[in-house]
């Protein structure tokens, strides 16, 4: 019983993390107005920092749920 409850919480947390990562990446894609080739420097900085932040947030959240 206890193991099933732990697995339920673990999988629920992971599904929320995946949903959050997908939502962040979709928002970053929607920010791009002219595609990858027509991006200005500030858009590139926002795009790259957003992807890095999303990956760090996913790794920290995964380890937090796991430990």
pLDDT at 51: 84
Q: How many domains are there within the chain?
A: 1
For the residues 6-27, what does the mean pLDDT come to? 87
Helix (H), strand (E) at residue 62:
helix 41-66
What is the average pLDDT value for the chain, to the nearest integer? 84
Whether residue 28 is predicted with pLDDT greater than 80 in this model: the reply is no
| Size of the chain, expressed as the number of residues it contains | 67
d(CA 30, CA 22): 12
- Structural domain including 11 reads 2-66
Q: Report the sign of the C-alpha dihedral through residues 38, 43, 27, 21, in that order.
A: positive
């Amino acid at each position: 019983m206890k193991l099933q409850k732990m697995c339920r919480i673990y999988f629920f947390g992971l599904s929320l993390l995946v949903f959050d990562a997908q939502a962040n990446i979709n928002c970053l894609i929607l920010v791009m107005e002219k595609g990858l080739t027509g991006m200005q420097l500030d858009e590139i900085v926002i795009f790259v920092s957003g992807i890095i932040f999303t990956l760090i947030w996913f790794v920290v959240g995964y380890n937090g749920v796991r430990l």
